[in-house]
Amino acid sequence: MKDIFLVVSGHAITVGEAVTGFACVVLALLGAIAIMLARASGARGIEAARRDAQVGELEQRMAEVARIQADTAGRVHTLGEVLSGRQAELARAVSERLDAVTHRLGQSMQASAQNTMENLAKLNERLAVIDGAQKNITDLASQVTSLREVLANKQARGAFGQGRMEAIVQDGLPKDSYAFQYTLSNGKRPDCAVFLPTDSRPLIIDAKFPLEGISALRSARSEEQKELAARRVRADVTRHFTDIAERYLIPGETQDLALMFVPSESVYAELYDGFDDLIQKAYRAQVVLVSPSLLMLAIQVTQQILKDARMRQAAHEIRTEVGNLMGDLARLRERVLNLQKHFGQANEDVAQILISADKVAKRGGRIETLEFDGDDAPAGRVIAAPLSRKITAAE
């Protein structure tokens, strides 16, 4: 037992000491195990008690859950009934709304259909108007084409200008104050001759239409083309008013001025704006260029001159009629004076008659106021008395 069992740090440990220490260690371990077992049994008791408490609490919770579940089932049932009622109400409301929407939709579709029909009717009317307008445009295009053809032909263009001039003259003057294709002493026949009341010499009007030169001037692009076109315009217009001056201006037979009618405002404006020297040259040749508007103005002035001349011609007749009227008026005044005299005499006679009537009325009043003696006379009765004596006494 005294044998060395272990040497630790220079200290020898014997076997007995080692056994004793081992036994002490075993005893310490056994004590620790006992303590642990005791603690474990206490912990198991506490755990069991805790488990019992948890089981009770769980049972209480289960009961509470069952109660809640029962309440929930009741509430679910109530909620189901409420939902059923609400669903029925919702279905009824949806049905009513659907019926209202269907009704409104039907009305809207009916109104839309009616508006569509009205719009289609209006569209048909407008299409008819458009068709009419298209037809008018087609007719106008054909007329423009025919007018272009007329203007392209010199003879037709001359007839067009003459026809327009004749229409203006016929609309503004009486029939006895103008003549178309009037024959002069030299055998020439101008397009129109207007007879003035104060002068026996007619005013000559001749229609000319210098269209080719104006068209060439308008379509010219270069300066050379414009110059050639201007020369052609000057040559054509000069030839026209020269022919009018030589053929139709006869001293003592026609007026000193003649009118050259240009039946186009645009052509006249082109001549007036771009060829002032030509206008002045024509005026020096006693020829005045006029457009349709200027010709209408001249015709209106002539019409006023004719009216004034006719008024002067009728002045003598008017003076004679006024004299006769004054004589009739004098006789009427004399007869009115005689009638006034008769009325004065009649008024005087009537006044005398009224005076006599007043006297008679006064005398009758005096007779009514007479009083008689005695009561044997009936009341309200007047007894006749000697009228002559009473009247004499009254006088």
Domain count, the chain: 3
For residue 181, how far is the Cα from the chain centroid?
50
User: Where is the domain boundary, 129, 145, 178?
Assistant: 129
Strand ranges, E, within 15-79: none
**246 shares a domain with 112:** no
In a domain, residue 374? The reply is no
In a domain, residue 373? The reply is no
For residue 76, how far is the Cα from the chain centroid?
72
In a domain, residue 44? The reply is yes
In a domain, residue 178? The reply is yes
Tens digit of pLDDT at every position of the chain (395 positions): 555 655 556 666 666 666 777 778 778 888 888 888 877 777 777 777 777 788 878 888 888 888 888 888 888 888 878 888 888 888 888 888 888 888 888 888 888 888 888 888 888 888 888 888 877 887 766 554 444 544 445 555 556 677 788 888 888 888 888 888 888 888 888 888 888 877 778 888 888 777 666 776 777 777 787 788 788 878 888 888 888 888 888 888 888 888 888 887 877 888 888 788 888 888 888 888 888 888 888 888 888 888 777 777 777 777 787 788 788 888 888 888 888 888 888 888 888 888 888 888 887 777 777 644 444 444 444 444 443 333 333 33
In a domain, residue 379? The reply is no
**198 shares a domain with 100:** no
**196 shares a domain with 295:** yes
Q: Are 209 and 261 a contacting pair, CB within 8 Å?
A: no
Closest by CA position to 168, among listed 142, 201, 191 = 191
pLDDT in tens, 219-252: 777 778 778 878 887 888 888 888 888 888 888 8
Domain limits for position 345: 314-363
> What pTM did the predictor assign?
0.42
**99 shares a domain with 24:** yes
Beta-carbon contacts of 309 under 8 Å, excluding residues fewer than 6 positions away, are: 197, 198
pLDDT in tens, 108-159: 888 888 888 888 888 888 888 888 887 788 776 655 444 454 444 555 555 6
User: Where is the domain boundary, 88, 107, 129?
Assistant: 129
**307 shares a domain with 171:** yes
| Alpha carbon distance 293, 291 (integer Å) | 5
In a domain, residue 154? The reply is no
**227 shares a domain with 331:** no
pLDDT in tens, 79-95: 878 888 888 888 888 88
Q: What are phi and psi of 280, to 5 degrees?
A: -65, -40
| Alpha carbon distance 145, 147 (integer Å) | 5
**108 shares a domain with 48:** yes
CATH code at position 171: 3.40.1350
**103 shares a domain with 40:** yes
**319 shares a domain with 301:** no
**273 shares a domain with 201:** yes
**309 shares a domain with 193:** yes
Closest by CA position to 305, among listed 190, 196, 224 = 196
In a domain, residue 206? The reply is yes
In a domain, residue 136? The reply is no
**Pair of tokens at residue 85:** 């009622």
Residue type, 378: P
**174 shares a domain with 110:** no
